[in-house]
Amino acid sequence: MKAQIFCGLLLFLMCTLRLQAQQLVDISHFNKRNGVKVLVEGKLIEVKWPAGKDRKGRLVLNLEKSKPLFKTMGLELNADFKEIAAGLDPAFILTVGKRTLDPKSGGWDVFFDRVPQKPFKTQLVAFDKRSASVTTSGAHTIIRISDMQANSFKGALEITLYNGSPLFNVAAVMATEVDSTAILYDAGLVSEKQVWQNISWSNVKNVLQTTKVVHETPAIDQEVKYRTIIGQSNGGSLALFPPPHQYFYPLDEAFNLKFTWWGQKYGGRMPGFGIGIRQDPLGDRRFVPWFNAPPNTNQRLNFFCLLDTGSPAGILEEVKKFTHGDSYLPLPGYKTMASHFHNEFIMDVVLKGLPVPEKPEFKEVFEKAGVNIVHLGEFHGPGHPKGPDEERLRELHALHEQCARLSDSNFLLLPGEEPNNFYGGHWVSFFPKPVNWIMSRKPDMPFVSEHPKYGKVYRIGNKDEMLKLLELENGLAWTAHARTKASTGYPDVYKEEDFFKSDTYMGAAWKAIPADLSLPTLSKRVLNLLDDMSNWGLKKHVIAESDIFTITEQNEMYAHLNVNYLQLDKLPDFEDGWQPVLDAMRQGKFFVSTGEVLLPVFTVNGKKSGDTAKLSSSGKTKIVLSADWTFPLNFAEIVSGDGKNVYRERIQLNNTTAFGKKQFKFTANLKNRKWVRLELWDIAANGAFTQQVWLE
């Protein structure tokens, strides 16, 4: 009888413990059929996911408040488990400042803000493991653990595992109700006990560095290449890195501001020894806008981890694959073009009488990045755009001479400027050959004349003459950093002007301003403008721009770069002019990419971007897309308009795994629509977008 009572009590206790575990960890939205296994025992959650190459990734999470969250992590092959790390906690430092929301500066689209010059608060994010859930979303498994809090922000931790790869993401997903907020975050993995034997990273010369861990070493801000810091143990290596573009708030420079850290008590706030990522709150000491955090938006303060049983050198090569080694992959039938660089090589080197290198560093940087065409924005500050005439012509001659000298069969360096005269706001000029022009004209001077040394010279006195010059020389203009910076309100202000409606005015340029970590994409500012211009009935296009000054090997260039993949079979020869480059831009024969997502094929009823497709009476439309990606994809979005409204159809692609190529076929109802384009984004907010196909 006593034995029966004992067994009954034991069974009751086991059922009670199991019920408590089920209440603590909700797995009701977990799909057991996607290859992931989840086991909940008390306050432990064990998750195994297919990690590629017949391996399984394994995490054991401990929800006991006094214990580290990551009890263990590693990789399993044929039931042989190799532990890579144990006893780690995720840690986040949140810095909260005040956003300037003056409509004259662009509101939430502001760039000209100096957040660190105003009061701000920095705080370690508190983590209270109250409850957890495990859910399935396509090929992703999301473990959410509540609660997290810092300043006015509240939220939870999310760990996302990606089938097919030993990759996972760790994010503090937090929101505030306070308006006018700008933020930064630092993050990492920490432990009170020694976990790592060595810490490794690549220096800016692309040489692997390794240091033996002395557990008491104070935290060090580390300058690295590839944004990656690596911890090595007996069982293997863990690489920790941020989203390659999203993590970097917009600046005018791409300085390497030591974006990783390692050591004890980082920031004087994180407990124990750790490795992680960081931001410099002062940026480039000019305009420093940080990240937007509008009220009630879920900001993802996140980083990626990659596991490997091998060496730091091996895992770094695996990390580099996600960004093609920080370069732009060649595509048959395309050439890569980057635009808007104020390098000022002419004024700062050539015309200063300094030694002119045979191959300047900036050219090497672009070539290593896989950029075929670089469109400059010289004389943005220095120089004499309005004269005196002889000085201006001397500067242009030096620019054209150096562009010709540094161009070759694989690389075009093309002259360009950001004139900021005549049209309003800031805009960029681009001619298909060297053109001599002066941005002023006195009443008694001719519009065009011949110079004995430099040949044909134009003098421009107003917007009508500027339009005439672009028409005569078959040039292009477009709005730089539209709707922000010194172009706040533009091109909207002059959308009815003849020069804007002219086919010499291409449209605008796109850069990730502003930055908002709640978005699964990079900036929508100019993409929204692209849609607006299409609905205005104008066939305008948007190219990528970088809008930065110095270009060096030391800089964190890739994070601030983006490119245009122009439909060109070959590079034009500089001496013959580069009209095909401008033609591709003018006709919309290109797509824009951050580099990780490529769109070599995009057709609508068989028509490519820039072309016009016919719709059936039903509006049923066939969209074909060939894509190439590194990080797992997140979604595609079909964007269309009817001349008044913009329509978005999102197609989830979170069943994809890392490093894929595939042709997608979508059917959309585009009845009564006048144009359509497509965006494709991955799980790190990297992406690509096409230009429009016009509909009739």
User: In angstroms, rounded to a whole number, what is the distance separating the alpha carbons of residues 219 and 186?
Assistant: 13
DSSP states of 284-339 as a string? TSS-B--EE--TT--EEEEEEEEEESS-HHHHHHHHHHTTTTTSPPP-TT-EEEEE
User: In angstroms, rounded to a whole number, what is the distance separating the alpha carbons of residues 5 and 577?
Assistant: 94
Helix (H) or strand (E) segment spanning residue 691: none
Quote the pLDDT of residue 17.
45
Structure tokens, 441: 């004209």
User: In angstroms, rounded to a whole number, what is the distance separating the alpha carbons of residues 499 and 505?
Assistant: 7
Quote the pLDDT of residue 16.
45
Cβ proximity of 433 and 421 under 8 Å: no
User: In angstroms, rounded to a whole number, what is the distance separating the alpha carbons of residues 406 and 359?
Assistant: 7
Cβ proximity of 528 and 534 under 8 Å: no
Look at residues 580, 562, 533 and name the one whose alpha carbon lies nearest to residue 692.
533
* Position 532, amino acid: D
pLDDT digits (tens, 9 = 90+) for 615-662: 999 999 999 999 999 999 999 999 999 999 999 999 999 999 999 999
pTM: 0.95
* Position 183, amino acid: I
Residue with tokens 């913009």: 646
Query: What residues contact 390, with CB distance under 8 A and at least 6 apart?
Result: none
Quote the pLDDT of residue 615.
96
Helix (H) or strand (E) segment spanning residue 467: helix 463-472
Cβ proximity of 98 and 118 under 8 Å: yes
Using 70 as the pLDDT threshold, list the residues of the chain that sit under it: 1-22
Quote the pLDDT of residue 506.
98
Structure tokens, 34: 């996607």
Quote the pLDDT of residue 3.
54
Structure tokens, 633: 């994809």
